[in-house]
Amino acid sequence: MSLTAKDVDEIMKLLEGSSFDRLSLEVDGLKLELERGGGGAPRAARPARAAAAPATSAAPVAAAAPPPAAKARQSSEAGLVEVKSPLLGIYYRAPKPGEPPFVEVGSKVDAETVIGIVEVMKLMNSVHAGVAGEVVEIIGANGELVEHGEVLLLVRPA
């Protein structure tokens, strides 16, 4: 089986209509890679990451093209505290791949509670809540680049 130009066109249309930014297709030794916007997907540091990181394979589909700066929060409730990333890096919500996230919506946290990890070139940095209360919304996306000062989650202070 091989792909005709028409097939490729169709696949491109499928990608365009989807919510994905990148598509990787392998058929009988033929490899097709499509990417929205022509940009590269985010990458983590090259050698195998230390055990702490989930999503080791950096699955192409999950690793979407760069998100538009900070994501908009949905909670409009007043008085919520923003927990921000203390540095730029790749944000992970769980200590290891396959393990449950450090916190979920509804989790009770105190100032010392670890709410995630930010990786900078294989160096894992714990992020603390810095406030006591209840997690109301998770904003940072797992496995994605977060900026210094980007909001990771919202906490309703106790």
Residue 90 or 155 with smaller CB distance to other proteins? 90
Q: 152: which residues sit within 8 A by CB, 6+ positions away?
A: 83, 84, 85, 91, 115, 116, 127, 138, 139, 140, 146
Contact present, 65 and 22 (Cβ < 8 Å) = yes
User: If you ran DSSP here, which 8-state letter would residue 96 be given?
Assistant: S
**Is 125 one of the binding residues for other proteins (CB under 8 A)?**
no
Residue 42 or 130 with smaller CB distance to other proteins? 42
Q: What is the spatial distance between Cα 52 and Cα 68, in angstroms, rounded to a whole number? A: 27
Residue 99 or 147 with smaller CB distance to other proteins? 147
Contact present, 116 and 127 (Cβ < 8 Å) = yes
Residue 11 or 87 with smaller CB distance to other proteins? 87
From 14, 16, 27, 40, residue interacting with other proteins (rule: CB under 8 A): 40
- Give, as ranges, the residues between 50 and 79 that touch other proteins (CB under 8 A): 65-66, 69
Chain residues binding other proteins by CB under 8 A are 38-46, 65-66, 69, 87-90, 119-121, 123, 144-145, 147-150
